[in-house]
Amino acid sequence: GLSYTWTFNNDTLSLRDDGRRFVSQETGNLYLAKVEPWDVGNYTCVVSNGEAQQSAWGPPTPLTLRSDGVMGEYEPKIEVHFPEVTYAAKGSAVRLECFALGK
């Protein structure tokens, strides 16, 4: 099966002993609670298939703090959406995309 990790500024995001951040191994979503100034930076989704011993990296998604403190209609959330089953021929390239939604 697939496993999901995230990098923060090109380093693996450590979730150990961190009650504010969580990566769903079902959806790949990264959740951040109570964003702090030190959370600002680039987040990148990494999808791995242990059986195939391969990984795919999404594009970096920057997180910035608004200077006015107003969040607007949507709270920030980084999501990953994949079809339940993806078929590919052996040796072919497969692209899995990550994206961010928020204001």
In DSSP terms, which residues pair with 7 in a beta bridge? 12, 44
* CA pair distance 72, 51, nearest whole angstrom: 42
Alpha-carbon distance of 29 to 100, in angstroms, equals 10
Predicted local distance difference test score (pLDDT) of residue 72: 56
pTM for the model stands at 0.62
The CATH code of the domain that includes 80 is 2.60.40.10
Tens-level pLDDT at each residue, the chain (103 residues): 788 899 999 998 888 777 788 888 888 888 888 788 889 999 999 999 878 788 889 889 899 887 776 655 556 666 666 667 777 888 887 766 665 555 4
Domain count for the chain: 1
In this structure, is the dihedral angle defined by the CA atoms of residues 44, 72, 26 and 40, taken in order, positive or negative?
Answer: positive
Q: Which helix (H) or strand (E) holds 41?
A: strand 41-49
Which domain does 97 fall in, by range?
A: 2-101
